[in-house]
Amino acid sequence: MPSRSISSQQPVRRLGKGAHGILGSVVRKTLTVGFGLRGLLRGRAQRAVRALRGGDKRSVVFLRNSYYHFYYLAQALRRRGWDAVSVSFEDPNGPNANYYHGEDINLFSADSEKLRRNIEGFFAEALERFSLLHFAGDGLLSFFPANANSETPADIIRWRARGRKIAYTISGCNSGVAQSSVTRWSALGGSVVCDKCVWQLRPDICNDQKNLAWGRKVDTYCDATFTEGFPALDYQNTSKCVREPTTMCLDAAFWRPDLEVPNHLKIERKEQELIVYHSFGNYESRSKDGRNIKGTGAVIAAIERMQLEGIPVRLVFVTTARNTEVRFFQVQADVIVDQLNYGRYGAGAREGMMLGRPTVCYINPNEVASNAALPWLRDVPLVSATEETIYEVLKSLLLDEERRRKIGQAGREYALKWHSADSCARRYEAIYDLIIRGEFGGEGRRLVANGGSGWSAKPGLEEAGRF
């Protein structure tokens, strides 16, 4: 692991910020088992849920955490008058807590029987209350963990039988996409990203059959899949896919350029010293035997080379800090480096742009089908670099303060347009209305660029549609 690291092993804490809108007085207390509910069916919790029902009001339950995205999207939808809540079954102090910012309802219990009762109770209420289930988590298409491996999850079948709708936000490049598809697509940019990824050699995590089986299951039960700008491949290239940024959103005030940095998180720097920020969550498990999908080694080498040249630059590498605190390190950086291999941007780049910091991230805008190109992706004000070009790109950026300022400003404007919770909520609402009316998913009715015929590794497609 790089020696220049900042980490935190403290448990995640609940944010004190209250919810907006109609749920502000009840839900933001974070309903947990300790709050005295048994499945949300009795007493105070039941009365609160019933009081919040709203006739024809738009309604969605976000199931499980997608980082912090669902938490902020639910808030933004409530500001638009929705009945929207985010729900988690995870231990609020568990291994993934650093990446989350909280949820509206937490059903976790260390007692498996009590957890089951909590979920049963919530499911009964959700079935009456919400028109749309929107979930995250590959392999987890069910309210109940015990149903995860079922091809016919009873709760989901019941949900559909009641006329309720289902949406899904992908986790990453292997969400319903064959590894071989990603390999061929990434080669269009000049290199194969899978050769940099530790999961290439872990078929229990990523292989063609497993990935496509999950895609078929999602395609069977879901009305919409939100792919958030990933390349149009396999089950991320169907008429049900929303490709524009819609659910992976940020709170524009939480990530703002003028953040006041707490004293204990301030980075001490020498006069005229330049700071480069780079991070890699779960570094120990995702960087092995020379494989590192973010290109961390190349970032370190570039900075060390510049230091030998007398340029006053230093790396701040973050790996286990709580995400609620990471923004304070990011906003102090002169340049943020996200990743140098994949070809699309993720949470780190979105956060950097929203904070108004110039951000480096490799962008491969190529699509297999020309009509699947994403215009908004071509406009993204990220500075593209690979492991081979990071030294030149980073040096040029560090030595030009005015360029950094302009790129940072453009990044903030872009993030507000495409990734702020409020702008995403507006797009989400329009898509929701089509889903509820049963009008989403047909060719010509999608709100985003048609993915075209493209190509796919899905079984049964004509060979002409493949590489």
Please say if the pLDDT value at position 127 is more than 70: yes
CA distance 71 to 84: 10
CA distance 225 to 216: 12
> Strand 105-106 and strand 132-136: pairing?
unpaired
Greatest pairwise CA separation for the chain in angstroms: 68
CA distance 119 to 89: 8
pTM of the model: 0.85
Q: For 255-313, write each residue's pLDDT tens digit.
A: 999 999 999 999 999 999 999 999 987 656 666 778 888 999 999 999 999 999 999 99
Range of lowest pLDDT (40-49, 69-78, 85-94, 327-336): 40-49
Region 348-377 average pLDDT: 96
Give the CA-trace dihedral at 205, 207, 210, 212, to 10 degrees: 130
Region 25-47 average pLDDT: 38
Could you tell me how many residues make up the chain? Answer: 467
Would you say 267 and 316 are in contact if contact means Cβ atoms under 8 Å apart?
yes
Q: Going by C-beta distance under 8 Å and a sequence separation of 6 or more, which residues neighbour residue 217? A: 141, 151
Q: For 136-147, write each residue's pLDDT tens digit.
A: 999 999 999 999
Region 151-158 average pLDDT: 97
Would you say 293 and 173 are in contact if contact means Cβ atoms under 8 Å apart?
no
Matching residue, tokens 């549609």:
465
Domains of the chain: 27-242 (3.40.50), 263-419 (3.40.50.2000)
Note the pLDDT of residue 282: 63
Output DSSP code: residue 337: E
Would you say 229 and 170 are in contact if contact means Cβ atoms under 8 Å apart?
no
Query: Residue 307, Cβ neighbours under 10 Å: how many?
Result: 13
Query: Residue 455, Cβ neighbours under 10 Å: how many?
Result: 22
Query: Residue 191, Cβ neighbours under 10 Å: how many?
Result: 17
CA distance 259 to 354: 12
Amino acid at site 451: G
Would you say 334 and 275 are in contact if contact means Cβ atoms under 8 Å apart?
yes
Q: For 229-254, write each residue's pLDDT tens digit.
A: 999 999 999 999 999 999 999 999 99
CA distance 265 to 77: 32
Rg of the chain over CA atoms, in angstroms? Answer: 22
